[in-house]
Chain A
């Protein structure tokens, strides 16, 4: 009996040692830090995101800012309806391209200076009543009765006001285009362009994004989840009357680009940019980290939200109080939760068992 026991035991141990490979299917890897075999695939994905989305978008934004400058110059020269319309069209294009830059703005997470450029000089959406103060200040400047504040002529929102006022018709607009307004518009366009150039230069020469894939992944994820939150809460919730603050009190004036009736396009641009990030590498990264279902949920919510955007017959400003807006708001709420789920999923690459006492 004793002998059988010993033999069985030795046999089992021998078999075990003989059969064991190097891998272990429940080794306790946690965190976004992961095994080296996946590391190069992650590096490639991060590089793709950088090249195909971040760099490409800042470059097209900057290029478009130069086009805008020249169209505002023509407007200054001729003050015609045609040049006004061209300037407005080029402005809208720039605003949309800038939404792409803003959605993936990891620069602001890498460097405080870069964060300030976006927040104060390029103006990520003015969320509150600061907007009204800004427009009153600007109007005083254009009337020649106010002093030019340091920041009041810097951002996209200011330029939008200079070119569109408060969504008035273009005949009226042309009348309002006095020389102060025209030169201010040109200064604003130039300042925006200079700041975009700083961002472009940062991404091209200073960013540390490609140095460490795990840090880059965490920056991208935090940026996307924050951006999804702002999309839901500020871009849709406050305007549509879905947030606590403005419950059942929708108001188009709270929409980001109501003056240029460009808000729906801007939202679509944000959603499309998110999708590009997923397709360029984030979905791949999620698969490597055993979180492909979380990534799939994000992509399908993005598709759903884009479909809702496309179903508006006109602008969001016109269709704000339709049921579509609530649908879109709900989709972005799910999107935000899905990003949280992806962050969570990537943190638990494997099911592991820690079941021993002491």
Chain B
């Protein structure tokens, strides 16, 4: 049944791991307690909206597609493992062998985890921006943006071709960073983990990553929002008005550097979905529509 996505809730590396959902819910309840006007965020109108139901069904379907088709395909085409080996052998051939000096393992592990995070987040920013600016890619990415209401599973409302692009991005960046680190540090590399999860995934998850796709406009304050993307900022990205802003994943610095950062104005009412009012009426439509014409 893993093929239907249920494993996601039990896998600490996934956005919708039960603990992350639980912490997002707690934060949401506290937020509503402080700002009662947002209690509609928990209403049936949001959670049982046609768009939300599409998300749920789509999640089940896309989980199957990812495991049955995309994972084998991408692994066959272009795995991070292959990229990494090519990179370290390439560096050896061109710049000479580097003897594996005894740096402290802790130092290398921290550095490697940080490098994966920073390069990973930056590459997500670039790909996301391309998805909005290249017309052909925008057709795929509209599947994510046609959601009229947001819930944590909207995160997975992504066209399979976009999934493939993200998977290739992952293989490329993970491979490049890992290959370079193996070239310099050899076998000393590793990832800083909490309870078996990448420390960044864990902290981001516990701090309410799931609220990014929700109707709880949690903000971090103007200063922190120059560094980190708050849930409210990603919600703005889903609005009809600011679709071409806030492309960032975890870090806001890319949006800041490349002039695509926007903060919510006080009490601004935002409408989610596409400016052209396109909706995808059912899950098959979500798969097929971007490919038509």
Contacts and interface: CB of A to CB of B under 8 A. Distances in A.
Q: B53, B84, B92, B127: which has the most chain A beta carbons within 10 Å? A: B84
A18 B81 CA distance: 34
Given A347-B178, A348-B84, A355 B66 contact: yes
Interface in B62-92: 66-67, 70-71, 74-75, 79-81, 84-85, 88-89, 92
Contact of A218 (B53, B131, B186): B186
B35 interface: no
Contacts of B89: 337, 340
A357 B141 contact: yes
Contact of B190 (A33, A356, A357): A33
A204 interface: no
A18 to B, nearest CB: 7
A303 to B, nearest CB: 22
B97 A336 contact: yes
Given A16-B6, A24-B11, 7 more contacts: A215-B105, A222-B187, A354-B167, A354-B170, A357-B158, A357-B166, A358-B128
B248 to A, nearest CB: 8
Interface in A105-135: 108-110, 115
Nearest to A106: B102
* Interface size classification for chain B: 35 or more
B191 A24 contact: no
Nearest 8 pairs of A and B residues by beta carbon: A19-B1, A221-B187, A16-B6, A31-B190, A222-B100, A218-B187, A348-B81, A355-B163
A219 B104 CA distance: 11
B31 interface: no
A316 to B, nearest CB: 22
Contact of B166 (A336, A345, A346, A354): A354
Contacts of A156: none
A226 B164 CA distance: 38
B182 A343 contact: yes
Interface of B: 1-2, 4-7, 10-13, 15, 53, 56-57, 60, 66-67, 70-71, 74-75, 79-81, 84-85, 88-89, 92, 97, 99-100, 102, 105, 109, 124, 127-128, 131, 141, 144, 155-156, 158, 162-164, 166-167, 170, 174, 178-179, 182, 186-191, 193, 196-198, 212, 234, 249
A226 B99 CA distance: 6
A149 interface: no
A155 B75 CA distance: 51
Contacts of B1: 15-20
Interface stretch (A5-13, A264-272, A304-312): A5-13
B4 A12 contact: yes
A20 B70 contact: no
A24 B16 CA distance: 14
Contacts of B234: 358
Interface in A314-350: 336-337, 340-341, 343-348
* Interface size classification for chain A: 35 or more
Contacts of B60: 9, 12-13, 16
Nearest to B229: A358
Contacts, number: 172
Contacts of A219: 187
A6 B181 CA distance: 49
Contacts of A115: 102
A356 B156 contact: yes
Given A12-B60, A340-B85, A344-B88, A33 B187 contact: no
A5 B4 contact: no
B128 A357 contact: yes
B110 to A, nearest CB: 12
A219 B80 CA distance: 24
A218 B105 contact: yes
A144 interface: no
A26 B84 CA distance: 19
A351 interface: yes
A351 B155 CA distance: 22
A290 to B, nearest CB: 10
A217 interface: yes
B191 to A, nearest CB: 4
B170 A15 contact: no
B13 A27 contact: yes
A33 B193 contact: yes
Given A27-B13, A355-B163, A17 B6 contact: yes
